[in-house]
Amino acid sequence: MNSSQYRKITSCLQRIKGGERNAFAEIFFAYENRIYFLCCKLLGSKRDAKSMTVDIFNYAYLHCAELRDGMGFDKWLFETAGTKCRRFIIDNHPEMYGDYIDSDSSEGERVEELLVRENNRMSLFPDGIEIDVGLMQLTDSILSEIPLKMRVAVLQYFGSGLDFDEIAATEQISSAAVKNRLLKALIRLETEEHKYSEMGYGTEGLTAFLPAILDAMAENIVIPPEIASGVTEKTGIYCIDNANSNTRPFDENGDTAYVNIPKQRSGNYSPTGYATQNTGTKKKSDMSPAVKVLMGVVAVLVVVAAVFAVVMLVNGSSDDEDGTILNDENTTQSTTIEITTKETTTEAETTTEAETTTEAETTTEPETTTQPETTTQPETTTQPETTTEPETTTHFVEEETGF
């Protein structure tokens, strides 16, 4: 808890002690995501997580006035959540704890070295890692595959900020057992990180930036609207009736749902960008939204202009290839192509002139069409000459072509 959070919680607690019970709404909004996320990951059921979240906030509402100030309030709240979830599992689903046997061996002391190594490994990512919905969902899937007791150690140590002794008190086990849980959980997470990295997923740095990833998952989890109304019914905090969570979509089925929309929360971490090396905060851009929009428009225009230029270049090349003769061909082939071109032109022009002349002469002076063939058939009639004229024209072109 930073100084601003401490002052905010302390102020809320003082107002609650003074009879302003609605001040608890600010506490509720500050922790609703993280408590619901913790319940989802511990209980494995959205339905149970909803009712447990309401129960935890009801308990906090009734007992928060007993606290002196805001120092340690978040740990007290998370310890309460862990204790209630543990009791619920033992009473309703004791088999969930049967996949791992606790041990008090000294092997867990290695966890200290492993934590130091992971902290040093952050230096390998000077620009941090991008925390998006895909990474959240992949981390969620990995956590769901490890035994529940190991998952509890990860969530309470990295997500809730509890130390070994506080986790031991919540779980009613020894500190050595907590270290063993956390050690085996980290080894499992490292193995999964390496496996998914080999498959092409962007999971490098997952264990090093695990606190920031869990924080992002908690802040972006979709809250069911029933939580706020449930708290309102039991505690009389009427202002929670208008909570923003009432308008959020919520699916009762499927996996835990996350949204990639940053929220205005206390602190400086925005969960949808980059987790930096030292602070675990989002790498913020210095550009304003207007500048970003302008740059996006310019980029689009540049792309359109480039595409247009390429199209024009391709069309120009096609025209050049259709209208010109390649000079790299041999002389005979070039001459043949030129003669063919001339022949085609001559045929077109001669045919056009012949057709024009024929149409004109047929209409006005039918005998005029016999002039080109005076050397051959001066006495022929107009109609035979008109039918033989294309042959004469073709013969003339062939001779010219041969020349």
As given in the structure block, the two tokens for residue 4 are: 């601003």
Predicted pLDDT at 258: 82
As given in the structure block, the two tokens for residue 100 are: 């791992």
Helix, strand, or coil (residue 101): coil
**DSSP letters spanning 286-335:** SS-HHHHHHHHHHHHHHHHHHHHHHHHHHHHHHHHHHHS--TTS-HHHHH
Q: DSSP class of residue 106?
A: G
Give CA–CA dist 28/24, Å, rounded: 6
- CA–chain centroid gap for 128, Å, is 17
Spell out the SS3 assignment of 241-298.
Answer: HHCHHHHCCCCCCCCCCECCCCCCCCCCCCCCCEECCCCCCCCCCCCCHHHHHHHHHH
pTM of the model: 0.63
Predicted pLDDT at 179: 94
Quick check: 225 and 251 in contact, CB under 8 A?
Answer: no
Give CA–CA dist 265/271, Å, rounded: 10
Predicted pLDDT at 33: 92
Predicted pLDDT at 333: 47
Helix, strand, or coil (residue 357): helix
Element holding 130 (H helix, E strand):
strand 129-130
Residues 306-317: b if buried by 16+ CB within 10 A, e if exposed:
eeeeeeeeeeee
Interior angle at CA 126, CA 123 and CA 132, nearest 5: 110
As given in the structure block, the two tokens for residue 374 are: 């005076």
Predicted pLDDT at 181: 94
Sign of CA dihedral 168, 135, 39, 219: positive
Quick check: 223 and 36 in contact, CB under 8 A?
Answer: yes
Sign of CA dihedral 277, 278, 281, 282: negative
Element holding 365 (H helix, E strand):
none
Predicted pLDDT at 256: 74
Predicted pLDDT at 248: 54
Give CA–CA dist 143/278, Å, rounded: 24
CA dihedral 96, 97, 98, 102 (to 10 degrees): 160
Quick check: 131 and 43 in contact, CB under 8 A?
Answer: no
Question: How would you write the pLDDT of the chain (403 residues) with one tens digit per residue?
Answer: 778 888 889 998 888 888 887 888 889 989 999 999 999 999 988 889 999 999 999 999 888 888 888 888 999 999 999 999 999 999 998 888 887 888 888 888 899 999 999 989 999 998 888 898 889 999 999 999 999 999 999 999 999 999 999 999 999 999 999 999 999 999 999 999 999 988 888 888 899 999 999 999 999 998 888 888 888 776 666 556 555 444 455 566 555 788 764 443 333 333 344 443 333 333 334 455 666 677 888 888 888 888 888 888 877 765 555 554 444 444 444 444 444 444 444 444 444 444 444 443 433 343 433 344 433 344 433 344 433 344 434 344 444 434 3
CA dihedral 132, 134, 138, 140 (to 10 degrees): 60
CB atoms within 10 A of CB 291: 11
Predicted pLDDT at 204: 86
Helix, strand, or coil (residue 367): helix
Closest by CA to 70, choosing from 13, 134, 127, 130, is: 13
As given in the structure block, the two tokens for residue 53 are: 């979240």
**DSSP letters spanning 135-171:** HHHHHHHHHHHS-HHHHHHHIIIIIS---HHHHHHHH
Angle, helices 133-145/175-198, rounded to nearest 10 degrees = 130
Give CA–CA dist 225/246, Å, rounded: 4
Quick check: 218 and 159 in contact, CB under 8 A?
Answer: yes
Quick check: 240 and 27 in contact, CB under 8 A?
Answer: no
Helix, strand, or coil (residue 403): coil
